[in-house]
C-alpha cells in the first residue's frame, strides 16, 4: 500500500513541508514517485518517520539523524557504530529527563507553596520553608 504526502501528513501530524524537507535532507530513504512524479510513501517510509520523529523530538541533531540514517543504509557493517550512537543518545535523554524531573519537583513545591499562601492570605509563615534546589550547595 502507498500513501500520498497529504495522507502521510494526516497520519503523522507532520506538515507536508517537513516531509519534503526530510526527503531533501536525505533523512528518509529514497521516496518512490509515480509516473507523474507524485510522491508515494510506503509502510517502510512511515516506520522511518517514527524513528526520525523520535530522535528529533528527543533533541538529536538533524546532522546526527542524517548520519544514523546513512549508517542504516550501509547495512550490518555499521551495527556497532549505530548501537554506540543510540546508546550515547539514550544517555543524553536520560540526563535531560533527570534534570526535568528536578524542575518538576520544584514546580510542585512552588504550586503547593502558592496554594497554601493563597489559602492563608499571606506567605509570612511559608517563607521559613526551603525550596528544593537543583544546585549542589
For residue 68, is pLDDT > 90? yes
- Distance, in Å, from the CA atom of 85 to the CA atom of 76, rounded to the nearest integer, reads 15
Flag whether 87 is in a domain.
no
Q: How confident is the model at residue 95 (pLDDT cuts 50, 70, 90)?
A: very high
pTM score, two decimals?
0.80
Number of domain units in the chain: 2
Looking at the structure, tell me whether residues 111 and 53 fall in a common domain.
no
Q: Given CA atoms 31, 33, 37, 39 in this order, what sign does their dihedral have?
A: negative
Same domain, yes or no: 60 and 100: no
User: What proportion of the chain, given as a percentage, has pLDDT over 70?
Assistant: 93
Is a pLDDT exceeding 60 seen at residue 137? no
Alpha-helix residue ranges (DSSP H) falling in 41-78: 43-57, 62-74
The least confident of 7-21, 80-94, 110-124 is 110-124
For residue 48, pLDDT over 90 is answered with yes
- Of 104, 129, 133, 102, whose CA–CA distance to 117 is shortest? 129
Q: Are residues 20 and 64 in the same domain?
A: yes
What confidence tier does 127 reach under pLDDT thresholds 50, 70, 90? confident
State the average pLDDT for the chain: 91
Q: What are the phi and psi torsion angles at 2 (to 5°)?
A: -130, 160
Which residues span the domain enclosing 48?
Answer: 2-74
Q: Is residue 88 part of a domain?
A: no
Distance between CA 79 and CA 86 in Å, rounded?
Answer: 11
- Tell whether 7 and 49 lie within a shared domain: yes
> Which helix (H) or strand (E) element contains residue 113?
helix 79-120
- Once rounded to an integer, what is the mean pLDDT over residues 14-25? 94
Amino acid at each position: 500500500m502507498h500513501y500520498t504526502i497529504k495522507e502521510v501528513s494526516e497520519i503523522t501530524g507532520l506538515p507536508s513541508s517537513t516531509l519534503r524537507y526530510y526527503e531533501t535532507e536525505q533523512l528518509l530513504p529514497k521516496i518512490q514517485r509515480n509516473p507523474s512524479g507524485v510522491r508515494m510513501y510506503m509502510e517502510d517510509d512511515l516506520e522511518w518517520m517514527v524513528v526520525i520523529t523520535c530522535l528529533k523530538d528527543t533533541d538529536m541533531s538533524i546532522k546526527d539523524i542524517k548520519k544514523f540514517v546513512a549508517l542504516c543504509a550501509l547495512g550490518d557493517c555499521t551495527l556497532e557504530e549505530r548501537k554506540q550512537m543510540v546508546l550515547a543518545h539514550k544517555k543524553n535523554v536520560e540526563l535531560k529527563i533527570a534534570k526535568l524531573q528536578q524542575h518538576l519537583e520544584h514546580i510542585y513545591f512552588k504550586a503547593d507553596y502558592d496554594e497554601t499562601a493563597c489559602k492563608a492570605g499571606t506567605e509570612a509563615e511559608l517563607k521559613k520553608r526551603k525550596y528544593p534546589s537543583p544546585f549542589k550547595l
